[in-house]
Amino acid sequence: MLSLKRLMLVTALLVAALTILGVSMYQKSKRVAIVLDGELAVNAVKAHLGDYELKTLREDEERSLRARLCSILFECEEVSLPLIILLEGGELRGVIAGLPSDDLWKAVLDRLSTESRAFLAFSGPERLLMRIKCYQCPPHGLVEEIVELSSEETREILNAVKEVGA
């Protein structure tokens, strides 16, 4: 009788351990897209990143996170582009600024499947990407580009996301 109790106890412990392992693996592989600014960005994420869970923030959280991202990425207070933050297992995979063309979306998907370093996928005015602060200069045009984020930028963005509780 004693061995049956031990067997039941071992079985219960094994089931609990497997459950914890399953939850842990789910959390590590969980993909989240935090969308700042608008329905067009939400629709783009749904169309191109269907396996990502969409997360929206309260207005004050969104405003705070947007200001921090603009400061980190563009060295300015505000940009009028949609911003999408891509997280996987709690790690930053990338930030999408603007509304990418189909070609840029293909490059983003390729980057997500092959690269591990965080990136900025940018679709917008060239002056923002180049961090030019000349507001009297004529626009140089729109560009679409993917650039790697530095480890410092990655860390700052993750801290900003955590501060708003996203």
d(CA 9, CA 77): 59
SS3 98: coil
d(CA 166, CA 164): 6
Q: What are the residue ranges spanned by the domains of the chain?
A: 30-163
Scored b (16 or more CB within 10 A) or e, 132-165 reads eeeeeeeeeeeebebeebeeebbebbbebbeebe
On whether the pTM is more than 0.85, the answer is no
Per-residue pLDDT of the chain (166 residues; tens, 9 = 90+): 557 777 676 676 666 656 665 544 444 468 999 998 777 788 888 888 888 998 888 888 988 999 999 999 988 777 788 999 999 999 999 999 998 999 999 999 999 999 889 999 999 887 776 665 555 555 556 788 899 999 999 999 999 999 887 6
For the record, the structure tokens of 39 come out as: 């329905």
User: What are phi and psi for residue 119, nearest 5 degrees?
Assistant: -140, 165
> Residue 94: its pLDDT value, please?
96
DSSP codes joined into one string, 45-65: HHHH-TTSEEE---HHHHHHH
